[in-house]
Amino acid sequence: MSEPMPPDDDPIIRGIRNAGIRPLPPRAIAGEVRPRRGRWIWALLLVVVALFLIVPAVAGRLADWLWYREIGFERVFFTKIVAQWALALPAGLVAFAFLYGNARIALAGPARREIQSRFGDLYTRAGFTDAARSLLDGVTRVLTIAGPALLALFFALVLAAEWRTILQFVYRTPFGVADPVFGRDVSYYVFTLPVLELATSAALWLLVLALIIALPIHLARAEPARRGRLPALGMGAQAQLAVLAALWLLVVALRIHFVDIPGLLFGAHVPFTGARYVDLRIRIPALHVLSVAALVGGLLIVWGATRGRLVATAARVVVAYLVVALLAAVVPAIVQRLAVQPNELARETPQIVNHIRATRQAWGIDGLEPSELPMATPLTPELIARNRETIDNVRLWDREPLLQTFGQIQSIRTYYDFVSVDDDRYRLGGQLRQVLLAPRELDTQSLPTRGFINEHLTYTHGMGLTLGPSNAVTPEGLPVLFIKDLPPASSVDVRVTRPEIYYGELSNDFVLAPSRQREFDFPAGEGDAAVYSQYDGRGGVPLGSFLRRLLFAVRFGSLNILLSSDLTDRTRILYYRDIRERAARALPFVLFDRDPYLVIAADGRLKWMLDAYTTSDRYPYARGVGGGVNYMRNSVKVVIDAYDGSVRAYRADTRDPIIRTIDRMYPGLLLPLDSMPADLRAHVRYPQDLFGLQSALYATYHMVNPETFYHREDEWQIPGGAGSAGPSGTQSGGTGEAFMRHMVMRLPGQRDPEYVLMRPFTPRQKDNLAAWMVARNDGAHYGELAVYRFPRQRLVFGPDQIVNRINQDTEVSRQITLWDQRGSEVLRGELLVLPVEGSLIYVQPLYLRAQGGRIPELKRVIAAQEGQVAMGETLDAALAGLLGQSAELAPPTPQPSESTATSTASAALTRRALEHYDRARAAQRADDWATYGEEMKKLGEVLRELGQQRGARP
């Protein structure tokens, strides 16, 4: 006979059935289901997990280890692994012991039998057999271990990610500066406070997880709730829950005292950052009271548990704690509104002083005091002659127009591309010359035929660069190039002997070299002729064995690495070739500047230079920027060889406590800056990202008087974007940093010209110029900042005012209007600010580009000084126009002879031919074959006309 079914009116049974739970079939409980099928399923599942999760992860780790060994940075790789395991293993074991121990305590002795009895009755009424009960009990026992184990694993993984925080605490270095409130060294906030915050957060979460495990178990064995009453917990249950709750409140009290109160020194308020008057006088005492309230609450909960009144006592403690917390938040707000705001300056003056001092220290502008410039010096030919180095190095080519021009006249092939243009300086002919250079990199996305051989074996590297002076222009309006073409040809005493670029800004995939496939270097002659080479550098990881090939086939998901017959015993795999990614992997403890730049070393090799920063968001009272960063130093210079990818990191700021801490974490990793080769040291420059932040902050924090700072009486600002706006509504593009330019100039009081990074300031909400700031780059003066202020009684026109004067100039407006009506597009370059002794000269280039074309030509240069505006074909001509003495600055204009006229006509025809060719190329890429045919026809007509002219030339 079958067992009687339990009554349907039982709510528990009805809930089980509604949930779809049915008794297990007797054959399943008896083990009659074929076990081999189950084992095969589990085995298949394990194989799938291994193939798709474990094997790729292991392959990735092994490939990374080989890469770190290749560049000599194994210490970085192993330090991370050892630190993660040293942190995760004990943390996971402690978490598991604590969570599992709480689960065992909750299930111990009578509690376990009571739960089994209660659920046994439930199983019987639900129709479960004895075998089903045994199976469910086994599942419960497994979950008792597996649940805490999984939670402990997650807990350990979270803590392992904070390995660098722990290591920096262990190897911490003092700053030698104390905070103005508690008198602690700044290193406490930078290195110790993050560890305390991590430890208390981990403890709080661990206690919460323990409560989540224990509470359901105790509720399951509690007496059923009666009307108007809560479930009755036993004394053992109350004791365990009370201890957990008391420990949680103890950690809360410790966190308030050691984390929350010191954290007030980072609070962002108006008008300053840091602890305010109300924080120091009201909030800190209130937080101390709240901390004591948490301790007392924990003791009361334990007391209530010993009296069997845990729930009622805990409820009262929670209510009381929330009331105290509310008062701790409301009372300071009331005091701030009623007592502080009406007398804010008087109350906050000491805190404002602390804020100004801390911000200037944290951002490295504390020793920077403005130097007063003399009264205006008239612009004369003698003044220009004395500052010829500055005039001869004015940057007339903006980066965006120059990048477009390089892309059209120097790319050579569609798969070569210019990504960026960099400023630098070289000594050419004994003179310091500012130059603009751009590396010619390989863009695999533009290859005519893509595939494994082309992308990874044949087209493996970029080739050479273009380099030219920042101010020189050909008669056709194109840039003068000192280094150009393929192979790179140089007309100056700077030579490129190793032009191949295997590592660059576009190199984002692995390549295999050398192999049986020849590597494309550059096209030669007409047709399909080309020059090929074989890689013979030290870069990359050797692929000499089957296991290595298998490893990297898995790592990069490319079976061809394993199967290709083109690979030899000498083949190396070059990966992580993007220089930003390469540097970030090699030095994961610093942040990198956005603008890496290429340098030609003395031996002709190409080297990438990157600036790296140490940062913190925990400098007390200091002003923060985006992301909360309120401390930054340019502490590391990184050099990466473009051919073999070798990485060298140099310690650039020995006074920075953070980099000194990192140096202790990785001994021998960072080299002293003095060990950098002299030819590379000559090209070190002050990083733009840091200078941009420092100059923006100095615009406000040059005011050291608290009253002046509070009222913002002498606040400066960075000039707006007026430098590139124009009547044509077009911009030439730029660096994205308003009026921040590299230039060669002689600083006031200095004898020799030098390479500086400069930025001007205007008064807040005013257009006239107030001051300018420079960062020095050369020799022993590298890294020095200087500020020069104009006399307050002197009105100096600012960029917006100069742009308005240029727009109102009839000659400039007429010329731009005339060009715009001829199917051309006028691009107005960035407005340059040139301090020349006591004078200030503004320079703006004008570019002309055919509509639809991509070759901007520099046609005019505008110069302005005070209220005068002049325009000429060259800068000298424009300056001469300002002086009204063209003969003294510009050579006399030759009278056009017949041969001159012929040359001019030929140049015009050449420009027209290039324009038609450019339009045809654009149409071809857009699959507009009708336009392509029309432009090619016009190109043929122009070329025939050009040939006839040359044939008629005597």
DSSP string, 786-855: EEEE--TTS----HHHHHHHHHH-HHHHHHHHHHHTTTEEEEE-PPEEEEETTEEEEEEEEEEEETT---
pLDDT tens, residue by residue, 232-257: 677 778 888 889 999 999 999 999 99
Lowest mean pLDDT among 256-265, 625-634, 906-915: 906-915
Paired residues of 416 in beta bridges: 442
pLDDT reading at 705 higher than 90:
yes
Strand, coil or helix: 493: coil
The residue type of 758 is M
Residue 651 contacts residue 635 (beta carbons within 8 Å):
yes
pLDDT of residue 130: 57
Residue 814 contacts residue 799 (beta carbons within 8 Å):
no
pLDDT of residue 445: 86
Say how many C-beta atoms besides its own lie within 10 A of residue 216's C-beta.
Answer: 10
Which position has the higher pLDDT, 6 or 860? Answer: 860
Element (H, E) at 513: strand 511-513
Buried b (16+ CB within 10 A) or exposed e, 267-297: eeeeebbbbbbbbebbbbebbeebbebbbbb
pLDDT tens, residue by residue, 31-68: 444 445 556 666 676 666 666 778 888 899 999 999 99
Instruction: Pull the structure tokens for residue 532.
Output: 């090929």
Highest-scoring range by mean pLDDT, 304-313, 552-561, 816-825: 552-561
907 vs 896: CA distance, rounded Å: 14
Cα–chain center distance at 436: 24
pLDDT of residue 836: 87
Q: Kindly state the percentage of the chain with pLDDT values over 90.
A: 55
Nearest to 829 by CA among 720, 731, 950: 731
Mean of the per-residue pLDDT values for the chain? 84
pLDDT reading at 518 higher than 70:
yes
pLDDT tens, residue by residue, 688-697: 999 999 999 9
pLDDT band at 758 (very low <50, low <70, confident <90, very high): very high
Q: Are strands 647-651 and 671-672 parallel, antiparallel or unpaired?
A: parallel
Strand, coil or helix: 508: coil
Highest-scoring range by mean pLDDT, 128-132, 214-218, 864-868: 864-868
Average pLDDT over every residue of 633-649: 96
Which position has the higher pLDDT, 321 or 25? Answer: 321
pLDDT reading at 2 higher than 50:
no
630 vs 621: CA distance, rounded Å: 9
pLDDT of residue 437: 95
pLDDT band at 306 (very low <50, low <70, confident <90, very high): confident
DSSP state of 206: H
pLDDT of residue 897: 37
591 vs 583: CA distance, rounded Å: 10
Average pLDDT over every residue of 533-551: 93
pLDDT of residue 949: 59
Nearest to 468 by CA among 459, 477, 479, 457: 479
Element (H, E) at 941: helix 929-952
Average pLDDT over every residue of 597-626: 95
Residue 242 contacts residue 311 (beta carbons within 8 Å):
no
pLDDT reading at 230 higher than 60:
no
Residue 554 contacts residue 59 (beta carbons within 8 Å):
yes
Cα–Cα distances in Å, from 532 out to 94, 501, 571? 61, 14, 17
Which position has the higher pLDDT, 936 or 286? Answer: 286
Residue in the structure block whose two tokens are 């026809």: 937
H-assigned helices in 308-444 = 310-335, 344-362, 381-386, 388-392, 399-409
pLDDT band at 88 (very low <50, low <70, confident <90, very high): very high
Which position has the higher pLDDT, 36 or 378? Answer: 378
pLDDT band at 676 (very low <50, low <70, confident <90, very high): very high
For the chain, what percentages of helix, strand and coil (3-state, to nearest 5) are there?
50, 15, 35
pLDDT tens, residue by residue, 13-37: 555 455 454 554 544 444 444 445 5
Average pLDDT over every residue of 539-557: 93
DSSP codes of every residue in 107-171: HSTHHHHHHHHHHHHHHHHHT--HHHHHHHHHHHHHHHHHHHHHHHHHHHHHHHTTHHHHHHHHT
Highest-scoring range by mean pLDDT, 11-15, 111-115, 213-217, 232-236: 213-217
